[in-house]
């Protein structure tokens, strides 16, 4: 049976006591090897969830468990080894002067031996299709390539979960699709859980499950197909259903749906 990797139990959070709650009584579970999308309008609480998983914030109410361990000030240093994060702006994430230095950075902090580091750099750059760029200076890369290198840096330290917080928001549609395809391949190969945080419904298509946030509450939790079927309700909470999903629906209604089934 698959193990529970992340568990939120009735979690509520506010940034200050005098502020309103930004997460209200949220409960959900994420299993190992799962690909999850967290979607919601701007300000619905998505990034706050990511920061709670990574122990950058702690909830005032409820409990968060990662691999069965409660997240506390004492356990967080250990837990962070299992959690990799990639953020929106790739330029803010570079620390190395070459691509390989950058990928090495997280490993240097963990005292991984040099031989192993070299092997892991090769492996993780290959996983994201950047194996020909070891010595390139990061500023010479496109936005999509920079995000791939950021992902390689996280993969190199072998996390159990990879969280992307609007990581494709600054890319063009082609760059976005490439990153999402790369990530899904990497996730399947590496026994990794993937959490994609986005306000763009296009990005949830390849997920196993979608958690929809609305004003700090979990509005729904279902497969992408089930979520897309609620297109009118989604629009009311500020989310636009992709045109292709609407088209597929309309074709189905008219009996014109494309099917993979043989016709006779």
Residues in contact with ligand ADP by the rule CB under 6 A: 15, 22, 40, 42-48
Give, as one character, the DSSP assignment of residue 15.
Answer: S
| Closer CB to ligand ADP, 43 or 129, in the complex | 43
| Closer CB to ligand ADP, 20 or 70, in the complex | 20
Q: Strand pairing partners for 210?
A: 37, 222
- In the complex, the smallest distance separating the C-beta of residue 214 from ligand ADP, rounded to whole angstroms, is 10
- In the complex, the smallest distance separating the C-beta of residue 35 from ligand ADP, rounded to whole angstroms, is 19
- In the complex, the smallest distance separating the C-beta of residue 51 from ligand ADP, rounded to whole angstroms, is 8
Structure tokens at 262: 């043989």
Q: What is the rounded (10 degree) CA torsion for 192, 198, 204, 208?
A: 40
CA–CA dist 196, 216 (Å, integer): 17
- In the complex, the smallest distance separating the C-beta of residue 118 from ligand ADP, rounded to whole angstroms, is 37
| Closer CB to ligand ADP, 129 or 238, in the complex | 238
| Closer CB to ligand ADP, 47 or 187, in the complex | 47
| Closer CB to ligand ADP, 42 or 109, in the complex | 42
- In the complex, the smallest distance separating the C-beta of residue 210 from ligand ADP, rounded to whole angstroms, is 14
Give the HSE-up count for residue 157: Cα atoms under 13 Å, Cβ half-sphere. 24
- In the complex, the smallest distance separating the C-beta of residue 228 from ligand ADP, rounded to whole angstroms, is 20
Nearest one of 157, 24, 141, 155 to 94, comparing CA atoms: 141
- Burial class from Cβ neighbours inside 10 Å (0-12, 13-18, 19+) for residue 1 reads exposed
């990061």: which residue's tokens?
138
| Closer CB to ligand ADP, 13 or 94, in the complex | 13
- In the complex, the smallest distance separating the C-beta of residue 32 from ligand ADP, rounded to whole angstroms, is 24
CB-based burial, 168-181: b 16+ in 10 Å, e otherwise: bbbbeeebbebbbe
Give yes or no for a contact between 143 and 151, defined as CB atoms under 8 angstroms apart: no
| Closer CB to ligand ADP, 22 or 161, in the complex | 22
Nearest one of 249, 168, 175 to 201, comparing CA atoms: 168
Q: What is the rounded (10 degree) CA torsion for 51, 53, 54, 56?
A: 40
CA–CA dist 109, 124 (Å, integer): 17
């Amino acid at each position: 049976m698959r193990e529970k990797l992340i568990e939120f139990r009735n979690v509520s959070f506010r940034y200050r006591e005098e502020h309103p709650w930004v997460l209200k009584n949220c409960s959900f579970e994420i299993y190992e090897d799962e690909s999850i999308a967290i979607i919601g309008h701007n300000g619905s609480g998505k990034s706050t969830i990511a920061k709670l998983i990574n122990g950058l914030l702690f909830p005032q109410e409820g409990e968060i468990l990662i691999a069965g361990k409660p997240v506390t000030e004492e356990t967080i240093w250990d837990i962070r080894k299992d959690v990799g994060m990639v953020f929106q702006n790739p330029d803010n994430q570079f620390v190395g002067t070459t691509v390989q230095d950058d990928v090495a950075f997280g490993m240097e902090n963990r005292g991984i031996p040099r031989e192993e580091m070299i092997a892991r750099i090769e492996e993780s750059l290959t996983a994201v299709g950047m194996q020909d760029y070891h010595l390139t200076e990061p500023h010479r890369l496109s936005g999509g390539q920079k995000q791939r290198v950021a992902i390689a840096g996280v993969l190199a330290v072998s996390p159990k979960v990879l969280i992307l917080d609007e990581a494709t928001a600054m890319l063009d549609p082609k760059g976005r699709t490439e990153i999402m395809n790369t990530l899904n391949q990497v996730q399947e190969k590496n026994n990794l859980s993937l959490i994609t945080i986005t306000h763009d419904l296009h990005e949830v298509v390849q997920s196993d499950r979608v958690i929809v946030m609305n004003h700090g509450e979990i509005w729904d939790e279902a497969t992408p197909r089930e979520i897309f079927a609620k297109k009118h309700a989604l629009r009311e909470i500020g989310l636009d259903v992709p045109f292709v999903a609407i088209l597929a629906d309309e074709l189905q209604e008219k009996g014109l749906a494309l099917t993979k089934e043989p016709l006779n």
